[in-house]
Structure 1
Amino acid sequence: MGISEIVSMPVHRSPRFSSQGMDSMITGNLYFGGDFFNRLAKLKTPLVTEVWGEMGDLAAQWLQVEGSSSLLFEIVVKAVELLEVKHCQVLVLCADGTFHRQAYYQAQTLLSRSNGVLRNYQRLNHFLQRVALSDGPVLIGYRDTYLGAEERRLLKLQSNENLVLIPMRLESEPVGIFGLSFDRFHSIEQRLPLAMMFSEQAAQAIQREGLALTEEESAVEIVLALAKALESRDLSTGSHCRRVTRTAEQVALRMGCTFREIQDIRRAALLHDIGKIGIPDQILHKPGPLSEREWAIMRQHPEIGARILRLVHGLTEVARLVLAHHEHYDGSGYPYGLSGDAIPLGARILTVVDAFSAMTTDRIYRPALSYRDAIAELKRCAGTDFDPRVVDVFLEMLKADSDGMEDVG
């Protein structure tokens, strides 16, 4: 049973929180004492001017804090003080899809870490999973019914408090949620750009100090390292994999996959071409069509990639998806000629998203197809190369979100 089947409450987002200006402010990677404060200085708002004096010394304070929990706690304290919210909390995503409250601070109280595991609350965890997979802040008004009394208690919300939940990611990997409670919508709206910067710093703190709660979660670091290794070998392949990653995740969510399945599909999408590390440069970068012998070598990359990933604890299922991402629905693909449902669903999703991205991207040996032509090709090959159900969901997604076509291409 997938996330969309279990959770009946829709995720509510204010359209005002997804403007182009805000999106442009929250892209890129940050680190303590560096880009965060440079970017903050560029936000010409009365609020930034008001708090800049306090923020000026914050980088040095954070860099002196020892230990990730202390660092996260310092971040949530400053977030409460400077954003003027009721409370702030950091929920770290565990390998099993549950969440651990790693830091918490409430205004006008004694400092309290109030850490705890939310593992035994299925309904809340499934809701938080949807938030972690969302593309931006999720807003919950105090009158909304998405959260029941028990879920509000677990999130330490008073009856009249609103909540904004900001998904935290490292590159493509969800690592947790940054939560803020507040009284008035208009006040949090103007502070949201700063709040999102704080959430980015919290995500970096999680990575910096290795807040992995189980051995399996170290796979996140390995996935990111492998992705960077692939990009250093072939820039076009690395950028292609990043484009495929979020799109495959969204298709999997729409097809009712479980949170764990979505995790594996996202990682497989990011690393589906990792086996190209083992392909000779003269083949990988050849400016024209490959010969039959060269194609035979190129077709080895799914098996090479799967062998690499099987060596990493926690990536066994990712390896299985990578191995099958060039199988065709009618059995004409490689390396094993699997067909129909014998091909893992995650691999069938990857095949569609990968093909669309490849078709709509310029290559050294051919120009990109238009979106219209690429869509026509997906429809033509549905039932042969591609699973028709995946094609239908993918095209519905493109139609529902006019920006989706740009994201995929």
Structure 2
Amino acid sequence: MSSIILIYIFTNLALMLLPARLFDRAWLDMGLIIADSVIITTAMVMTNLSSSHLLLFYFLIILLTTLGKGTGAVVGNGLIMVGLYLFFLLQTQGKNLMGNSGLLLQIPFLMICTIFYGVLVAQEHRKQRHILQQIKVVSEMMASSLNLRDIYKATLDAMVNLLGADTCSIMLLEPDGKTLVVQDARGLSPELIGKARQPVGEGISGRIVQDGRPILLNDFPLVTPKRSEYSSNKGIVSSVSVPLKVKDQIIGVLNMASLSKKRRFRQQDLDLLTHFAAEIATSIERAKLFDEVRSKAQEIKSAHFEVIQALAEALESKDVYTGGHARRLAIYADAIAHKAALSSQEIELLWYVAILHDVGKIAIPDAILHNTGPLTPEQWIVMKTHPEKGAMILSQIRSLAHISSYIRSHHERWDGKGYPDGLKGESIPLFSRIIAVSDTYDAVTTHRTYQQAVSQKEAVEILNRCAGHQLDPILVKYFLSALQSSDTLQKLHQESPKHHSSQS
């Protein structure tokens, strides 16, 4: 008898320790039940115990091995026990039992029922595999999304459509870690979303945050929830709640409930939701981090824009012409950038460069800046320092230092005869070359006290002559093409140049 007990223990341990990836869990469970039943039947036969004792042992096996495995497992396990019991009777009562026609009818019935049980197991397996595949699809979608609302919607839709929840909700901890708040839900009143709160340690969700363990509940007390809380007034029959964890840190709770007696959640539902919750938590945390970064970036961008506005206003207060000139250049540069197929980020950066390209003139003496006639050679030497001075000013501002090189080079020439560094061709930064084309066009089309503005036709001829010498020929082509656009002409009309006396 002791050897049978050892075999019993060894068989159970061996089947339980087999890697789950080698066998389907349902078949492992059934194998364990059959092994237990065969061993116990053998023990009963060898010890000559009565059939009543054997039935008691079978009943205990059914009770212990089918908890949480569903009706199909209970029926199938029961049929296996009946088959083994008949085998026991055949062994103990011999040929007399073979003459029993009732028994002969029971044998094919047992075979049919066993096949039926196999079908139930296979269907359950296919259902679980389908759910896992769908959860994988949803998880991949969430992994590629940085929008919290999209993640919430995908999560709740999966809980309703795949797991059969009547009501479900996503609750996240507030920053203080003391309260859970409903972020989104299905089957709950919309009034509760964003408002319903649960203190940590209270209620099912609060206990989960406190203990860190999922909770599966069936056969709730007959409590009818308010209509404002659930879509039905039948009351909760079954519920599953699991923690949302990121690196062992709980960030919230996932809840789902059934309001129908036909749908009671089982251990496998708890396992599925726990697996799903890990993917959801990671996606939520990633999206929240993205929102924080985006918010911080927006704050920096706002501060960045304020600095640019302050510099532009300071420059315009010193020289009215330069302010209008910079805004027109921004329009020209934007037109060239679109023709050159620059990205939206590059176009935004180019706008900063256009607005601030002459910021160095803040450091130029007013006597030179407001000179109504041609500059002397000495004055030109001072005036030509404004690109370097502008670059130096911006290099001292952390948020604008990255555009200082474009400011420094906006008076370089395609043929290498520009200033301050004598750069040539494509060694001149692209943004600086765009500003050079825009600057040249605005300079010849703006009327000043010492220079008459030329017509657009003449300006086009000047640009064509400068292409390949002073200016990048490709960018000149882009600009002349953009100049024919009605949008560009409309913007230019709104920012039409007036009479000015300042130097360029």
Computing the radius of gyration from Cα coordinates, the structure with the larger value is 2
* Higher RCO (CA 8 Å, separation ≥ 6 residues): 1
TM range (shorter): 0.3 to 0.5
TM-score, with length taken from structure 2: 0.39
TM-score, with length taken from structure 1: 0.47
Kindly indicate which of the two structures has a greater share of residues assigned to helix. Answer: 2
